[in-house]
Amino acid sequence: ITRVLIDTDPGIDDAVALLYALATPRIEVLGITTVAGNIGLDRTTSNARRILALMGREDIPVHAGAAGPLSRSGIEVADIHGMDGLGGVEFPAPGAKAGDDAVAFLVETLMREPASDIVLMVLGPMTNIARLFRENPLAARRVGRIIAMGGAIRDAGNMGPRSEFNMAADPEAADIVLGSGLPIVLIPLDVTRQVRATLDDCARLSAAGTPQAVYSARLIEAYFRSTSASDASSRPLHDPCVMLMATHRELFRLEAMGLSVDLGTSPDAGALSPESSRMLVLTATEVEGRAAVEHLIAGLS
Ligand code: BDR
Ligand code: CA
């Protein structure tokens, strides 16, 4: 069983990832921190709380973090994730309140739990994690491993020609985290684009009948309505790959890479390039895509 903290910007695929993490007995969620990304911070925070309310897990603390990147102005992509960030899928209203200092919560949890025990799952822009590292490197060094979704290596980007959203949303934060020497597994678009759900998968999830399966089906169906894709018959499940890396490591191939982050102001800000002098980041290069989706469906059912 992997004990995790999840930093996220829900977000349709973040929501599916959270539902899986909450449902699978292989993961214990100690807390959730939120960041502005797919939509503004208030909404990513209330979305995280809605998901916990659906799962009857409002005992899990939620703490709001950064409302924008370290030093740039924010990007919003409400066209993909809908005006509410969850594609218009209605979740139960949350009761429990959120805290408002994600970094303090991360520090407190990391100092309390055994060193190297906790996996930090990063599903959005890396702003909160960069701040954790800057404000309390001692606590940051107690993270066992970071598993993050972000970047594009050989594949095209989804923001600029070579830049991916989570890295493009806060390149300076990505640079701090990737250069920190903390143990990181990075899952880029090259890999997450191969983990694809079909409408037939949605039908199977709906039929499974658990709240987490039914809502995942609704979220992925909303994703079909809001995006067009070169492959019209499926949609990529980016963020759930982070959870699958923890629960089903054997699905992925990893390679150690030194990666630098484009800190310029072109549309490719946040793009990653190989650079031998940088800290090595374990980067996913291949995945068994269909098997990954099957594990996801099983965990949600
Ligand atoms: C990443 O960007 C967000 O829109 C998704 O939630 C995912 O974390 C994919 O580039
Ligand atoms: Ca995300």
Decide whether any atom of ligand 1 lies within 6 Å of the 149 Cβ.
Answer: yes
Torsions phi, psi for 176 (to 5 deg): -65, -45
Decide whether any atom of ligand 1 lies within 6 Å of the 212 Cβ.
Answer: no
Q: Does 74 have pLDDT greater than 80?
A: no
Cα 140 to ligand 2 centre (Å)? 21
- The residue contributing the CA closest to ligand 1 atom 4 is 38
Cα 167 to ligand 1 centre (Å)? 10
Q: How far is it, in rounded angstroms, from Cα 76 to Cα 24?
A: 31
pTM for this entry: 0.97
Cα 111 to ligand 2 centre (Å)? 26
pLDDT in tens, 103-145: 999 999 999 999 999 999 999 999 999 999 999 999 999 999 9
pLDDT in tens, 251-292: 999 999 999 999 999 999 999 999 988 999 999 999 999 999
269 backbone φψ class: left, alpha, beta (φ>0; ψ -120 to 50): beta
pLDDT in tens, 191-236: 999 999 999 999 999 999 999 999 999 999 999 988 766 667 999 9
Q: Which of 165, 195, 220 to mutate to test the pocket of ligand 1 (most atoms within 8 A of CB)?
A: 165
Name the strand (E) or helix (H) holding 27: strand 27-34
Q: Does 79 have pLDDT greater than 90?
A: no
Cα 125 to ligand 2 centre (Å)? 8
Decide whether any atom of ligand 1 lies within 6 Å of the 160 Cβ.
Answer: no
Query: Mean pLDDT throughout 1-20?
Result: 97
Residue 89, CB-side half-sphere exposure with 13 Å CA sphere: 30
Q: Does 11 have pLDDT greater than 80?
A: yes
Neighbour tally for 282: CB within 10 Å: 18
Higher pLDDT, 226 or 44: 44
Task: Give the closest residue to 161 by CA, choosing from 243, 51, 272.
Answer: 272
ipTM over 0.85: yes
Taking the CA of 8 as reference, the closest ligand is 2
Of the chain, the percentage scoring pLDDT greater than 90 comes to 90
Cα 8 to ligand 1 centre (Å)? 10
What's the N-to-C CA distance of the chain in angstroms? 19
Cα 46 to ligand 2 centre (Å)? 15
Decide whether any atom of ligand 1 lies within 6 Å of the 223 Cβ.
Answer: no
Q: How far is it, in rounded angstroms, from Cα 143 to Cα 136?
A: 12
Q: How far is it, in rounded angstroms, from Cα 68 to Cα 90?
A: 26
Catalytic residue numbers, as ranges: 238
Task: Give the closest residue to 150 by CA, choosing from 22, 37, 295.
Answer: 37
Decide whether any atom of ligand 1 lies within 6 Å of the 158 Cβ.
Answer: yes
Q: Which of 126, 149, 244 to mutate to test the pocket of ligand 1 (most atoms within 8 A of CB)?
A: 149
Torsions phi, psi for 155 (to 5 deg): -70, 160
Q: Which of 12, 13, 75, 243 to mutate to test the pocket of ligand 1 (most atoms within 8 A of CB)?
A: 13
Task: Give the closest residue to 225 by CA, choosing from 86, 63, 132.
Answer: 86
- The residue contributing the CA closest to ligand 1 atom 10 is 165
Residue 9 CA: nearest ligand 1 atom is: 6
